[in-house]
Structure formats: structure tokens, C-alpha cells
A and B are shown apart, each in its own frame.
Chain A
Amino acid sequence: MRTYYIFSSGRLRRMDNTLALELETERRVVPVEDIDHIYCFSELDLNTRLLDFLAQKQICLHFFNYYGHYSGSFIPRESQLSGFLLVRQVEHYLDQAKRLELARTFVEGALHNIRRNLEKREYDDICSKLDEIREGIGKTASIEELMSLEAHARKAYYDTWEEITGWEFGSRSKRPPANALNALISFGNAMMYTVVLKEIYRTALNPTISYLHEPSERRYSLALDVAEIFKPVFVDRLIFRLINLNMLKETHFDTNVNFVYLTEGGRKVFVKEFEETLEKTILHRKLKRNIRYKSLVRLDLYKLIKHLLGEEKYSPMKVWW
């Protein structure tokens, strides 16, 4: 199963029992059984016949606007439903202690994975600062307190980015990102978010009920919670690599407007490498077999489900390589 990225404008349509992308000059046919999900970065014509077909085949279609910002997704009707699990999810949200416990684990996992990125580069003083912050996680009494702790850690983390990449960073800026690094982070995080969302959608978990983020914050906030854990490993490492290997250059960014965004060429470079990251495999120490990076997301959702069922405490994916 593969992910397809569409960069050229045209019409996406159902052709008999498969998909065809019709461009001005050519028509490309894609075997539908091979599609995991589709990302669309260009203007596309489509009709309900196509959407119905995608729903039948359980394929998600994600849209990004001209500036590479995530606009939304077409997500087929839920095929996995469990009232039982939903009740447990809500219970863990409403019970303040249970909610805080889960929220802490998300932050704990994220910080561990952030720390690993710095440890590899021997930022010892910042690592010990992160350790201090991590120790405070258990003492936080509210989500707000936890959030501010996380913000402190992130600030310390981002302070190293100019040195790691050699690019201007300043501080984290969103909507709109003020410079190229910020644009990369925003774009990468949006990609990570959709990957998690897709995996959540395949389980019986309800994507709108979350613990660290407030459920009303965004449509599918559980994806935000879980993405925290994976961003340092999947996105940040990729950004460092793309810059350090000179795969992304100034020409891949458009600065003509009063903020910065990735050009089509830049996005192509990014998603190609992102896709390769997701497909990389690693020997899982517990399952004792090679699994893909992207499957790590699914496995974490399984662990989360087991936590919600009350079977085993959730321990987030902690990068071991």
C-alpha cells in the first residue's frame, strides 16, 4: 500500500474499478488496491462518484492549499466503531486524574524523543535542562501547567536549531511562519498529523476525544496528542537531514509574500523523503521483527487502547535508535 501525492492540476476520477488522474496532456491510471491515502497539493476537479468510490475502498484524500497549509480531508465513513471504547475514551477525559495521567505520558514521550535528538549531537547542557523539566512532569497538577512545562522544553530545544541547521530561526512562528525553518516545521507537522489521523481512523478510537490538547481545539485533536510523540523522530530528524545534506536550498522557499512557504519543488523533496522515512524498517525489540516506521504509530494506538481498556498502562514510543 502506498501514499500518492498529487502536485499537478487536473481531474481525479473513477475509471471503471480503478482511479485515473487526467492531466492536460496525459492520463495516469493508478491501481486502487495499492492506494493507502492521497495527498493533494494542487487544484483538482472531482465528483461524488469518485468520493463514493474512495469511501468504498477506505481511502483518505487530504487537501493542502496553495501555501501548503492543511485545508482538510475527505475521510470515508467510519468502518471501525466501538461504543465500548468510546465510553472509555470519554471516561478518561472526564476524570481529571485519568486525563492528566495520559496527557503527561504524551509530553513525557515527546520530551524523551526530543532529548534523543539533542543527545546525539551532544548538547549536554540542554539535555540536563530537559531532564529537569521532565522530572517536573509528574508534579504538574493541571493540563495548563503541563502545557507550559512543555513549552519551556520546546523553547530550549528550538534554541539549538540555528546551530544544528545553520539557518536563521529566531523563535517558533506559526500562521504564518516567518522563515524557512518555521515553514518546514509547520509543513512537516501537518504531514505527521495526517499520518496519525489516518491510523486513528483505522482503529476504533475516536479522533475527536483527546487528553493533552483540548478536544475542541481542532477537529481531530487526538491526532495532535499522538503526533507529539512522533514529530521529533519523523519530522525534526528529516528537517535536519534535508538541510545538512543540502537537499533543500533557499530556492525551495517563496518569500515574495510577507511570510515564507515551501515551493512545489520544495514540497516534492520533502514528501519524497518523508515517505521514505515512513517506509523505513527497524527491528522492534518487543515484537522481535522488523516493522515500518509508520507502523509504530499504529502500535502506539494499540497501546493507548489497552490503556483505555484498563489492561496495561500506556507507555509512548520512545525512540531507541
Chain B
Amino acid sequence: MNSDQVTELRKAHITGTMVAYYFICHRKLWLFAKGLNLENISGNADVIKGRILHETRFNRQNNKEVAFDTVKIDFLHYNGQVYVHEVKKSKKFEEAHTWQLKYYIYMLQEKGVNCSAGVIHYPSSMRREEVNFTPGDRELLMKALAGIQAVLSKPLPEKKAGRKMCSRCAYFDFCYI
């Protein structure tokens, strides 16, 4: 991917959440990106639990909620290099969470920050997953970012997924009514 394309991606305002949604559900990604965010209004129990986790865990960390460009990182720590940390409620969408974190690492690298690894925390199941950013990841991530743009350029959202996971989604009522 050349530098022109990279600049274009920046303009697309892709957030970390959008990268994660790309790996979960294209319909949710489309709706979210168009400003139709139902997470905070649905009263979905999982969403509320997740918000409370965010508000209560890791409060003693410095460098919380580091925001730049279009991303907002849960927290950072330094140990020779910068490590990105992301807090999640459930391991169900681990692949999506991994790519979200890798996107943060990529964005930091673009800023010239020495960062190539991070940790996903699952405090409710007392697990942590370490993530390393490899050169191969960069290419896969570029593909995903292009994929996100393709989804967002469509005039209509993808049809509802009709999968089992839908029933626990904050967008369930919207999709299935």
C-alpha cells in the first residue's frame, strides 16, 4: 500500500471500534459508522456490564483514554517500548479485539511511536492475551481497512446476519423488528 492510500484511509475516520465491528458484523459496522449507534440506548445488559468494567477497572493506570486522530486507546504503558492495553468484557470476539488492538499499534507506528505489542484484558474472566504486531499483520490490516471502506461506501447496510449471536447484540431490536 503506498502513502497516498494511507492518507486516504486516515481521511476515512476509521475508529478502533469500527475495526472490531468489521470482524464481527458488517451491518453493525455500517450502522455504527453512519452515526446510528444503539449501544448506549438499548439497555443491553452486556453493554452495560462492559461500560461498568471500563469505568471501574484499571483506574490506577496512568495514560488512560489516550486519544489521537480517530482512535481512543484504553491505556498505555512503557517498558523499553510502548504497550497498548485494551479492556474487554468477554472473549467471544477475540479475533476482532486482536485486530482492534493491532490497528492501534499501527496508528501509533504511523506517528513514529516505538510500539509493536499490547495486551487485551478480560477482567471478568481474569484472562489476559498478549498481542504482537508482525510485519505480516500490517498487510492483513491494510486489507481489513480497505474492506471497511468498501462496506461503508455501500448505500445500504448489509442484510441482518441471522446468526445466533444476534440475539445478544444491542442492535437486535433494530435489525429484527
Chain A residues close to B by CB (< 8 Å) = 1, 79-85, 202-204, 286-287, 295, 298-299, 302-303, 305-306, 309-311
Contacts and interface: CB of A to CB of B under 8 A. Distances in A.
Interface string B158-177: 00000000000000111011
B36 A204 contact: yes
B34 interface: yes
B177 to A, nearest CB: 5
A283 B155 CA distance: 34
B35 A80 contact: yes
Contact of A287 (B34, B35, B43, B177): B177
B155 A85 contact: no
26 contacts: A1-B43, A79-B40, A80-B37, A80-B40, A80-B41, A81-B35, A82-B34, A82-B36, A83-B35, A84-B34, A85-B36, A203-B36, A203-B41, A204-B36, A204-B37, A286-B176, A286-B177, A287-B176, A298-B173, A299-B177, A302-B173, A302-B174, A302-B177, A306-B174, A309-B156, A310-B156
A82 to B, nearest CB: 3
Contacts of A85: 34-36
Nearest to A205: B36
Contacts of A303: 177
Contacts of B123: none
5 closest Cβ contacts across the A-B interface? A82-B35, A84-B34, A202-B41, A302-B174, A299-B177
Interface of B: 34-37, 40-41, 43, 155-157, 172-174, 176-177
Contact of B173 (A202, A287, A309, A311): A287
B51 to A, nearest CB: 11
For A1, A80, A310, which residue has the most chain B Cβ atoms within 10 angstroms? A80
A158 to B, nearest CB: 32
Given A82-B36, A85-B35, 5 more contacts: A80-B40, A202-B41, A203-B41, A302-B173, A311-B157
Contacts of B35: 80-85, 204
Contacts of B41: 80, 202-203, 298
B9 to A, nearest CB: 20
A16 B49 CA distance: 23
A299 B176 CA distance: 10
A310 B155 CA distance: 9
Contacts of B174: 302, 305-306
Contacts of B172: 287
B177 A305 contact: no
Contacts of B40: 79-80
Nearest to A311: B156
Contacts of A305: 36, 174
